[in-house]
Amino acid sequence: MESPTDAGPQYRATRAIIDEHTWVSPISSTIERVSSSSWTYKNTRYRFAGFSSRGVPEGIDWSVFADWYHLKVHWRGYIPAGVLSEVSWDTVGEHIVYHGGSQRFFLKGGIAKWRAACTNKLLSYTRLMAKFLGLEKDNTPFPSSFEISSLEARCALETDIFGIMAASRAHYLDLVGYYCWIRKAFKSVLNLTYWDNNHPPDPTWIVWENAPAIGYLVDLSADWEIHNLPMWRDHRVPFHYIWSSELASNDRYRYWDPEELGAQDETVGEEDENKTLSSSDPLRQEGWKHDEWLQQSPPLDENEPLGIFGRNLATITDVSYFIQDFEHWIARPIVTEEELRLFEQLFYYEDKFKPSNSRTFYRHRERTTDTTRFIATHFVEPHLQLPQYLRERYKFRYASLQSSPDAGGHVPLLTRLGGAPENRSSPQQATRIVSLNDSEDEYQQRQVARIHNRRRSVSPVAAAASPSSSELAMQGRRGSAHFSPARSINSASSRGSQSRVSLAGNRVIEGQGLLESIIPNEAEGYALDLTEGSRWSLRFIEHAIIRFPVISSEWRIRAWLEHEPYMPITTLLSKAISAHIPFRLEIPETDLQFFRRSAALYSDWERNAHRYYHDIVQERLINYNENGVIYRQEYELSVMELLNRPNAGAFLFEGGLLARIARRYSSQDLVTRALKGPSAAITLHGAGYFTAERATRREHVTDFEKLILIGQSNPTGHKTEAHYVFPPPQVFRERFAKYDGIWNQDCEDWIQQRFARIDENIIEARTIRGWDAELWKWRRHPRFTVAQWATVAEEMITARGASWEGTPIRELFDLAHEENSWSEP
């Protein structure tokens, strides 16, 4: 990528023992930059934990200290240290105003406008750069969205304003980091296209580019296929990793061994015992080595191409060409003649007849001693072939190893689809095999025609809906307008109209089959209409934004539209809530004014409910009781009291087991209240779940309220563990395989047996281990795999348009459709 010409002085590598771990810093001090809590905060639950009630980060404050590298927020190491020095960016009480008349808190007008102006300006510029570079095509994550209008929100709780300030500051910092990352990682491209002449950056932003960066914490063993340590080193972005005996005994990591780096030990009063093996170590094979990318580089005599097509290549029909940029990466298609011609001189390649005719080049297996000089001499745009550029541009789409495979999840689901030789294809290419008969433009034209022919809009409004530009990573399906393309490949195999074998066609068929399989067959399955006798509030749906807590929920809900594309929204939502599919309907904080009433219009029941939301009522769990009659009575009384709270309608949107239990022990009134929208819990008492990043609020039930519903019971007598009348939701989802995100007849049969036993005063309460064992018998029931859901998602997006996640419902459906059934208002 870029050479470190003006990146500042070269620092000596250092190491230090911190909290019993040996940390290494190749270009900076270790003892001054790595805190003793760094290892503690490695778990993603800290990395994306959000903020406390006063706006303080729950995990590492990545605006000050290096945080663990994660693809979802890959730019954060580039954030300049101390970049937000203005007081207006501080999360402090001095910026908050309280209005006694309305009893609402809000941010000072000047602060809100200044933050909004700064954010909008930088957001527009970074989006423009990302679009120009075509980063969305490669699933490159973009900073998550923030609702700018939330800066003007008026909230019942002061803590909500602290949350908005913290989220606003974090969003702006992410934009700063993203800006600095693009400006350094793609500097050559921007310079060669005279970007700054046409789009001059703000002078303040230019200062950021030369400021010291905060840097990264890196897990070498987990991130070895996706890190870009050489680029960070050249850009003077500090990075720190833990060195262990396991890494020292593995030759893959030898390049970054502190002994190889000559790292100075900064530990005070201690000796570092983690010495590496010597260069005569038998792990180091003669002539073989591992490079700075931690990939194995065979000697030149091992890189003689394994070609089987030979001189008959011109007679072989439909040959597909790929290149694997780094070891273990998914191979990507080669689409220009220039690349193909030069790659044959530079890299080892392997030909295969099955599953289709293909030639795959391996960039890490070089055939020359000076590949860099050859590239600089022979390629029209040599910077596009440099390892640092390739690593940073394509790792979001082609790296086969996921960084930190935990709950955070850093890459959109669709990026793991593939189908090149031995499944080494591009997710974005939707498993097509690139033929030399076709140019990239011709293929794109056919794809557009195919999508156009298959697309059906669910409503007149939906046809015009477009994906949010802030979600570049998930919805990047357009061709890029970056760089001048080289000549497209035109092979001798273009003669005639021979039949072609296309894995893409098989993939489409598979996707359509899986999509058909999730469309509920109401004649055979569970088809109770939970909303019969109740109607959705038009005002509620006009302002509602739909979200999906479970990734399969969206595709299950949208599947109904496959056979009935013009189904009205009230019918679709009724089907979803009746099938206990989990989904969320959020309301922008600024729109809650349309749901509030004067105090006199709230009932006594609604006003008295304040005790549930202001810690006046001491929540308690029931006790385990050997007497089934008493046990049942205590359980049902606690549940009925719970479901009589204004916020209880949220249980129906939780879906699954919780929704089914709530329906069992409630009347139709609970459904009616849920369909009306925000209850008094939100509009009068300021409760509900508030998301500062989006400035939205939704009806919410707490974890403790969920425990009450499933009947968690305190141990009594000889019992030493908590028991549960119904299994905890997580255990139910993981073990009862017949439940796969939608309530079906099998689920209903199972729970009816439970209800029947309870009606007979037989309370078969179990511990968590007991429920785990009880539900284990259903573990072999087939479920959709993650890969199958990914296929369904791609098929749905290709045929029906972008994801609905985070979209106002009014932008998806025609609310004036005559078949909608609304309540008033």
Is residue 490 pLDDT above 70, yes or no?
A: no
pLDDT given for residue 447 in this prediction: 34
What average pLDDT does range 705-725 have in this prediction?
A: 94
pLDDT given for residue 615 in this prediction: 66
What average pLDDT does range 288-302 have in this prediction?
A: 84
CA nearest to 681, candidates 583, 593, 608: 608
Burial 671-699 (b: 16+ CB within 10 A, else e): bbbbbbbbbbbbbbbbbbbbbbbbbbbbb
CA nearest to 586, candidates 632, 535, 631, 650: 650
- pLDDT tier at 697, thresholds 50, 70, 90: very high
Q: Are strands 239-243 and 216-218 parallel, antiparallel or unpaired?
A: parallel
- pLDDT tier at 511, thresholds 50, 70, 90: low
Of 119-128, 159-168, 464-473, least confident by mean pLDDT is 464-473
Cα atoms in the 13 Å half-sphere on the side-chain side of 506: 12
Amino acid at 792: V
Is residue 417 pLDDT above 80, yes or no?
A: no
Residue 804 and residue 323: Cα distance in Å, rounded? 34
Q: What is the mean pLDDT of the chain?
A: 80
Q: Which of 420 and 543 is assigned the larger pLDDT?
A: 543
Burial 739-752 (b: 16+ CB within 10 A, else e): bbbbbbebbeebbe
Contacts of 603 (CB under 8 A, 6+ apart): none
% of the chain exceeding 90 in pLDDT: 49
For 80, other C-beta atoms within 10 Å of its C-beta total: 18
- pLDDT tier at 692, thresholds 50, 70, 90: confident
Give domain limits for the chain.
1-50+66-81+212-267, 300-404+413-439, 536-807
pLDDT given for residue 799 in this prediction: 83
Residue 215 and residue 73: Cα distance in Å, rounded? 12
Residue 743 and residue 120: Cα distance in Å, rounded? 43
What average pLDDT does range 617-644 have in this prediction?
A: 92
Out of 1-10, 733-742, 750-759, the most confident range is 750-759
pLDDT given for residue 48 in this prediction: 67
CA of 440: how far to CAs of 39, 389, 417, 443, 488, in Å? 46, 21, 20, 5, 7
What average pLDDT does range 742-755 have in this prediction?
A: 93
Is residue 451 pLDDT above 80, yes or no?
A: no
What average pLDDT does range 216-245 have in this prediction?
A: 94
- pLDDT tier at 522, thresholds 50, 70, 90: low
pLDDT given for residue 488 in this prediction: 38
Residue 42 and residue 19: Cα distance in Å, rounded? 14
Residue 256 and residue 24: Cα distance in Å, rounded? 9
Torsion of Cα atoms, 634 then 638 then 640 then 643, to 10°: -160
Tell me the backbone φ, ψ of residue 48, rounded to 5 degrees. -120, 35
pLDDT given for residue 36 in this prediction: 81
- pLDDT tier at 405, thresholds 50, 70, 90: very low
pLDDT given for residue 526 in this prediction: 61
- pLDDT tier at 316, thresholds 50, 70, 90: low
pLDDT given for residue 755 in this prediction: 96
pLDDT given for residue 660 in this prediction: 96
Of 5-9, 271-275, 546-550, 751-755, least confident by mean pLDDT is 5-9
The tokens describing 556, both together, are: 């299950």
Of 139-143, 182-186, 508-512, least confident by mean pLDDT is 508-512
379 in Cβ contact with 338 (< 8 Å): yes
pLDDT given for residue 781 in this prediction: 76
What's the order of all strands across the beta sheet hosting 545-547?
689-691, 696-698, 584-588, 545-547, 807-808
pTM (2 d.p.): 0.62
pLDDT given for residue 557 in this prediction: 95
Of 727-741, 788-802, 804-818, least confident by mean pLDDT is 788-802
Residue 707 and residue 223: Cα distance in Å, rounded? 38
pLDDT given for residue 619 in this prediction: 76
Is residue 7 pLDDT above 50, yes or no?
A: no
Residue 825 and residue 823: Cα distance in Å, rounded? 6
Q: Which of 266 and 455 is assigned the larger pLDDT?
A: 266
Is residue 50 pLDDT above 80, yes or no?
A: no
pLDDT given for residue 169 in this prediction: 94
Residue 139 and residue 416: Cα distance in Å, rounded? 11
What average pLDDT does range 178-198 have in this prediction?
A: 94
DSSP-based three-state secondary structure for 239: strand
In whole angstroms, what separates CA 645 from the centre of its chain?
A: 34
Angle formed at CA 47 by CA 45 and CA 48, multiple of 5 degrees: 70
Q: 21-42 pLDDT, tens per residue?
A: 999 999 999 998 888 888 888 8
57 pairs with which residues across the strands? 51
Is residue 243 pLDDT above 60, yes or no?
A: yes
pLDDT given for residue 311 in this prediction: 55
DSSP-based three-state secondary structure for 481: coil
DSSP-based three-state secondary structure for 379: coil
Torsion of Cα atoms, 767 then 772 then 773 then 777, to 10°: 150
What average pLDDT does range 314-331 have in this prediction?
A: 82
For 324, other C-beta atoms within 10 Å of its C-beta total: 23
CA nearest to 807, candidates 563, 557, 593, 594: 557
The tokens describing 20, both together, are: 């019993």
What average pLDDT does range 778-803 have in this prediction?
A: 84
Unique residue bearing structure tokens 């400021």: 211
Q: 460-474 pLDDT, tens per residue?
A: 333 333 333 333 333
How many residues are there in the chain? 825
